[in-house]
Structure 1
Amino acid sequence: MYKLTGILILAIITGNINGSQGGPVKSPEDLETHCKGKAFTMLGTVLDNLVANQDCDERDELESLPEAIANATVSVGCENLTVPKDFTESARWMENAITHLESQLADLMVLLKLRMTYEKVNSRYFYFGHDVSKNWTEAESFCAEKGGHLATFQDEKELIAVTAKLNPDTRYWTAVNDIAKKGEFKYLDTGLPVSYLKWSPGEPDDWNEEMHCVVLFHGSMRVNQCYHERRVICQADNEI
């Protein structure tokens, strides 16, 4: 446990800020404000010094850690923070602080994954599987693996912006379908009625009873058979 010096230092610095400033630190900008803007630029030096002593006995490390952290808070411009001296009495506090940091780290990892995988279009994030061919069910599973769902669109402005990103003459699956009841188009992820549709002329064409899943093609929507393989558009949120 005590070998996780990086986590402990961040937990102690963040936890002390929470306690001494009257409210939680909600972002890196908050931490920089509380610590005179030096926290993240100086913390690397502190961690390097601690890592150099990783071969020490855990008891020795535990006894020396409060002093190291106190020096760390001074070096990053947080001299006013109170460092707990008795780690036995502070165990619960440290556990809560680490849990809070782990939650923040998880949120940051989600954001990082989002920005590495999805592309922002207007106010939302989409993934364009230009080289991915799936049937409709497989397409939803593919999007789920990427942390999202098959896409739907809020309005015409968003639809036009998304269409500009697509390959011409290529059909892309959306989440819209009428599998439950013919003619009643709903969202796949919520099962709610679709609020925005832009049909191609003559659509929805229900001449074939197997045509239940909606594709986007040339900026408008058509009903296709769900077992056909099409390209994929994923959305990162559940806003629709």
Structure 2
Amino acid sequence: MLSYSSCMIPAVAALLVTCHALRECPGNTELPEIPALPQRDDLKGQSHLSLPNSLDTDPLDVIADLKHRLCRLEGVLVLNGKIRKAGDKIFASNGKKVDFASALGSCEEAGGTLATPMNEEENQAVLSIVKPYNQYAYLGIKEGETPGQFKYINGMPLSYTKWYKYEPNGKGTEKCVEMYTDGTWNDKRCNLNRLTVCEF
């Protein structure tokens, strides 16, 4: 008897090949071309196939979700370094020290962005990568147009901070943010080499 899950095997195989071979995971919203899967209405009266009556999930939605998850994991594995999970986020480092623009570029190339802790759990996950390297790391946070007003790199205002005592104090001269090896933050110039930590 052919089940719904066995119909998914060729689709998932095609998805894996497409994601790996075409290297189109980051930023791509198109679904790969895959063989059409049978729909419940198409299977009425066919006793050799069975689908659960409660099946409400569109197979293309399942495939889109699988593609997103596989591409995220592929991005993490590309970094080939330390990996930590906090909530829905995965944090990873390749162990390289570079300036802010290069760190951001490396993360985006792998399908992620610079680590942007939005709560204590995420900050601790980033810290658990920073500590073993004993290196400060850039965060995905930059100073906005108003000196002393920092935002996530996507432009949203900060919802969580962990500033070191008396920081930030650059007053417009230190546009980037680094994490110290104790998990606190400091505003810093963007042209210094710091550990690359990405989130996916």
State the TM-score bracket (shorter-chain normalisation): 0.5 to 0.7
Contact 2:92 2:199 survives alignment (8 Å): no
Higher helix share: 1
Q: Please say which of residues 101-110 and 124-133 is displaced more in the overlay.
A: 101-110
Match of 1:174 among 111, 129, 139: 139
2:121 and 2:34 mapped to 1: Cα distance?
47
Name stretches of at least 5 consecutive residues in structure 1 with no aligned partner.
1-5, 22-69, 80-99
- Which has the larger Rg? 1
Deviations 1:133-157 (A, max 9, x none): 2211222222211222212112223
Letter in 1 for 2:169: D
Aligned partner of residue 129 in structure 2, secondary structure: coil
- Which of 114, 120, 128 is the equivalent residue of 1:164? 128
Structure with the larger RCO, 1 or 2 (CA within 8 Å, 6+ apart):
2
**Alignment identity in percent?**
23
Query: Hey, which bits of structure 1, 4+ residues long, moved more than 6 A?
Result: none
Partner deviation per Cα, 1:100-151 (whole Å, 9 max, x = no partner): 7666544323211323443452313233224222211222222211222212
Aligned position for 1:204: 168
Q: Would the aligned equivalents of 2:168 and 2:186 in 1 still touch at CA under 8 Å?
A: yes
Query: Does residue 1:186 correspond to 2:151, yes or no?
Result: yes
The match for 2:36 among 5, 8, 11 is: 11
Partner of 2:4: none
Residue of structure 2 aligned with 1:112, choices 61, 70, 93: 70
Deviation at 1:217, TM superposition (A): 1.2
**Normalising by the residue count of structure 1, what TM-score does the alignment of the two structures yield?**
0.54
| Alpha-carbon distance, 1:222 to partner | 0.8
User: Of 175, 179, 184, which aligns to 1:220?
Assistant: 184
CA distance in structure 2 between the partners assigned to 1:216 and 1:130 by the alignment? 16
Aligned residues: 156
